[in-house]
Amino acid sequence: MEAVVNGKTIQLSEAGWLENLDEWSPELAEVIAKNEKIPELTEEHWDIINLAREYFQENGTVCEPRAFSKLMKKKYGKERSDQKYIYSLFPTGLIKCANKIAGLPRPKGCS
C-alpha cells in the first residue's frame, strides 16, 4: 500500500501503517485518516495525535490506552480523557487508528 503526498510516494504496510517513520507529515496524516474513514482531522483529533507523538518521542514506545487516558485527563480534563471520547474521534481506537494516523509504529499484536 502507498500514499502520495505532495507528489511523493510514501510506503505503507498492507494494513496502512507507515513503513518509514521519518516520512510522517501532517499532510500524510490527513491521507491516512481518510483511509481510516475519518474525513477531516479536527483540532481535537490533532490534540490526540500530537500527544501520542510526544509520548513516543519521549519514551520510544507507543502509549498504552489506559496510560494515555491519564495523560489526556491531565492535559485536557476529564471530559476529554476516557476511551469513549477517544473512540468518538477514532472509530477503531487509540492503538489501531490514532497511532496509525500519528505515524507511529504498529504495536506488537495489533493488526
* The three cell numbers locating residue 34: 481518510
Residues annotated as part of the active site:
110
Q: How many Cβ atoms sit within 10 Å of the Cβ of residue 99?
A: 26
CA distance 34 to 59: 28
Please state, as a whole number, how many other Cβ atoms lie within 10 Å of the Cβ of residue 48: 25
Domain chopping of the chain, boundaries: 2-101
Backbone φ, ψ for residue 12 (5° rounding): -120, 155
Count helices and strands in the chain by DSSP H and E runs: 6, 2
pLDDT per position in the chain (111 positions), as tens?
Answer: 899 998 999 999 998 999 999 999 999 999 999 999 999 999 999 999 999 999 999 999 999 888 999 999 999 999 998 888 989 999 888 778 999 999 999 876 665
pTM (two decimals):
0.91
CATH topology of domain 2-101: Arc Repressor Mutant, subunit A (1.10.10)
C-alpha cell at 4: 502520495
CA distance 57 to 83: 22
